[in-house]
């Protein structure tokens, strides 16, 4: 007499069994990369935090950590930078009009006025990007390292628009050379866009767009092309869709 086959398990029952099998009793892992933890504590972009680690300025539970990629659990471990214990901060954001003569750095051995001195000292913040000493304009101060990464890293393509006044009359060929690009000490540089706003006999007002700004890039490009910058104002950072 043939044996009866075992009844097939219903699809819904098998699915429920699989779902139960996927459940895990392990507690959620709250650890994260050390550089990301530092960024969330207001120590700069992830790259800036990596430099802190590599310099041996960070310790976890009393042990100096210099290896990138190390993880930390902020809820159970104590992290210090230069011996100072880190505490979780709330995210803050300041849009500041940086005046001429103010440096965009958190540390200045010369004791010059810093842009971070222009906002309340309640939370540790850092400037996103930079404007040189003799430039003025919009600068964002925050302790949000992830936002800083998205605004400053070239792969995200955030463009910055400057209003620049230079000595002399700027010719069409000069504008063409700026877009074409030139070589400076750091290598090849070129502007994303440039257009004339006002042209006078002794000065010219222009709008210049950059994707990635090197140290004093606009001033150095224009100096190579025979024009001294009289004023440079960063006034907006549009998304890539805002300008063609």
Q: Is 132 an annotated catalytic residue?
A: yes
Neighbours of 190 (CB within 10 A): 15
What is the Cα 93 distance to its own chain's centre?
13
Residue from 59, 61, 82, 132 carrying the catalytic annotation: 132
**Cβ atoms within 10 Å, residue 105:** 14
The residues near 97 (Cβ < 8 Å, ≥ 6 apart) are 136, 137, 138, 139
Answer yes or no: are the C-beta atoms of 189 and 214 closer than 8 Å.
yes
- Provide the phi-psi class of 55: left if phi over 0, else alpha when psi is between -120 and 50, else beta: alpha
Instruction: Identify whether the C-beta of residue 48 lies closer than 8 Å to the C-beta of residue 58.
Output: no
Catalytic positions: 132
């Amino acid at each position: 007499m043939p044996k009866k086959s075992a009844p097939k398990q219903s699809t819904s029952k098998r699915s429920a069994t699989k779902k139960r099998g996927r459940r895990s009793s392990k507690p959620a892992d709250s650890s994260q990369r050390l550089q990301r933890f530092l960024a969330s504590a207001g120590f700069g972009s992830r790259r800036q935090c990596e430099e802190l680690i590599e310099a041996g300025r960070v310790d976890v539970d009393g042990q100096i950590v210099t290896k990138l990629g190390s993880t930390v659990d902020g809820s159970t471990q104590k992290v210090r930078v230069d011996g100072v214990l880190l505490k979780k901060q709330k995210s803050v954001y300041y849009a500041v009009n940086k005046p001429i003569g103010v440096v965009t750095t958190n540390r200045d051995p010369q004791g010059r006025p810093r842009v971070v001195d222009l906002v309340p000292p309640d939370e540790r913040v850092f400037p996103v990007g930079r404007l040189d000493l003799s430039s003025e304009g919009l600068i964002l101060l925050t302790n949000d390292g992830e936002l800083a990464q998205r605004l400053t890293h070239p792969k995200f393509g955030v463009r910055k628009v400057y209003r620049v006044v230079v000595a002399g009359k700027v010719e069409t060929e000069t504008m063409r050379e700026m877009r074409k690009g030139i070589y400076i000490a750091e290598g090849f540089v070129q502007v994303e866009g440039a257009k004339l706003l006002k042209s006078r006999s002794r000065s010219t007002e222009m709008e210049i767009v950059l994707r990635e700004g090197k140290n004093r890039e606009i001033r150095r490009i224009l100096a190579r092309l025979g024009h001294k910058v009289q004023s440079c104002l960063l006034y907006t950072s549009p998304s890539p869709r805002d300008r063609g």
